[in-house]
Amino acid sequence: MFIRFVIDRLDPDSGRRQGILQALRELRDHDLLLPEERDVCDEVFAWLFDNLDRPDTFSRSRKRHAAKVALSWFKPTAREHIARMHVLARVLEAHGLQVDVIEERRPGYIIHEDEYQVVAEPFQETRT
């Protein structure tokens, strides 16, 4: 099963539920995090940046301005990554946002895959 952390807010680009990294960036950008929460987020973001490949694209389309509709999913073997995402989830929950962990066997049309994640454009039936 592939794993994705989301909140109930819809992402304007994909039209799917927003991932928690984007939600945390919004709280941080609006200066809504406590200093200790900001420190935790900065540490986890830095770790993820160092330990997770950044996909070249979030669309199957080759068009330059194609909509970014692909979603990132962790592989179940990405245990350390998933553990750190749970740390970030607790920060969002402290701000009254419910975090859901979605598990999906078929995340969609895979456009990027590495050791720890897949990035996929969801199938119509994919839970997001």
Phi, psi values for residue 58, rounded to 5°: -125, 30
Per-residue pLDDT of the chain (128 residues; tens, 9 = 90+): 999 999 999 988 778 899 999 999 999 999 999 999 999 999 999 999 999 987 665 555 455 554 557 889 999 999 999 999 999 999 999 999 999 999 999 999 999 899 999 999 999 888 88
Rounded to the nearest 5°, which phi and psi values hold at 5? -105, 125
Q: Tell me the H-state helices in the chain.
A: 20-29, 35-51, 79-94
pTM (two decimals): 0.87
* Domain extents in the chain: 2-121
Q: Note whether 6 and 18 are within 8 A (CB).
A: yes
